[in-house]
Amino acid sequence: MRAKDEFGPEYVLEVFDAKTGMQGVMVIDNTACGLGKGGMRMVPDVTTEEVMGLARAMTWKNALADIPFGGAKSGIKFNPKSPQKEAAIRAFADKVRKFIPDLYIAGPDMNTTEKEMAAFADQIGNKMATTGKPASMGGLPHELGSTGYGVALCTRVAVEFQGKRLDGMTVAIEGFGNVGTFAMKFLSGWGAKIVAVSDSRGVIYDENGLDYGALMKTKAERGTVTAHGSGKVLPPAELFKLPVDILIPGARPNVITDANVGEVKAKIVSEAANIPMTYEVEKKLMARGVLVLPDFLANAGGVISSYCETMGWDEKKMFEVVTEKITNNTKLVMGRTKDNDTRAAALEIAKERVRKAMAKRG
Give yes or no for a contact between 77 and 24, defined as CB atoms under 8 angstroms apart: yes
* Topology match between the domains 11-61+70-138 and 146-301+330-347: yes
Please give the Cα distance from 311 to 1 (Å, whole number).
35
Q: Model-level pTM greater than 0.75?
A: yes
**What mean pLDDT comes out for the span 214-233?**
95
- Give 361's pLDDT tier (boundaries 50, 70, 90): confident
- Give 5's pLDDT tier (boundaries 50, 70, 90): very high
Give yes or no for a contact between 115 and 143, defined as CB atoms under 8 angstroms apart: no
Q: Angle, nearest 10°, between helix axes 342-360 and 279-287? A: 130
Q: What is the DSSP string of 10-26?
A: SEEEEEE-TTT--EEEE
H or E element, residue 292: strand 291-293
DSSP code of 299? T
109 CB contacts (<8 Å, ≥6 apart)?
38, 39, 40, 41, 73
Window from 66-80, 130-144, 158-172, 311-325 with minimum mean pLDDT: 130-144
Among 338, 340, 302, which Cα is nearest to 321's?
A: 302
* pLDDT over 90 (residue 87): yes
**What mean pLDDT comes out for the span 168-184?**
96
Buried b (16+ CB within 10 A) or exposed e, 321-352: bbbebbbebbebbbeebeebbbbbbbbbbbbe
H or E element, residue 171: strand 170-174
**What mean pLDDT comes out for the span 307-320?**
95
Quote the Cα angle for 237-241-245, to 5°.
130
* pLDDT over 80 (residue 56): yes
**What mean pLDDT comes out for the span 67-77?**
98
Give first-to-last CA distance, the chain, whole Å: 27
* pLDDT over 70 (residue 284): yes
Window from 80-94, 132-146, 213-227, 249-263 with minimum mean pLDDT: 132-146
Architecture label for domain 146-301+330-347: 3-Layer(aba) Sandwich (3.40)
**What mean pLDDT comes out for the span 30-44?**
96
Active site residues: 73
Domains in the chain: boundaries: 11-61+70-138, 146-301+330-347
Q: Which of the pair, 135 or 210, is modelled with greater confidence?
A: 210
Residue-wise pLDDT tens digits, 285-299: 999 999 999 999 999
Question: Which pLDDT belongs to residue 203?
Answer: 98
**What mean pLDDT comes out for the span 314-330?**
97
Q: How far is CA 18 from the centre of its chain?
A: 32
Question: Which pLDDT belongs to residue 1?
Answer: 57
Q: What is the DSSP string of 132-150?
A: S--GGGT---GGG-HHHHH
- Give 29's pLDDT tier (boundaries 50, 70, 90): very high
**What mean pLDDT comes out for the span 211-229?**
96
**What mean pLDDT comes out for the span 325-352?**
98
Question: Which pLDDT belongs to residue 3?
Answer: 75
Phi and psi torsions of 318, nearest 5°: -60, -50
* pLDDT over 80 (residue 2): no
- Give 362's pLDDT tier (boundaries 50, 70, 90): confident
CATH number for the region 11-61+70-138 comes to 3.40.50.10860
225 CB contacts (<8 Å, ≥6 apart)?
176, 197, 198, 199, 201, 202, 203, 204, 215, 218, 219
Number of alpha carbons in the 13 Å side-chain half-sphere of residue 186: 21
Quote the Cα angle for 319-321-323, to 5°.
70
Number of alpha carbons in the 13 Å side-chain half-sphere of residue 164: 15
* pLDDT over 70 (residue 349): yes
Question: Which pLDDT belongs to residue 254?
Answer: 92
Please give the Cα distance from 94 to 78 (Å, whole number).
16
* pLDDT over 70 (residue 356): yes
Please give the Cα distance from 75 to 24 (Å, whole number).
6
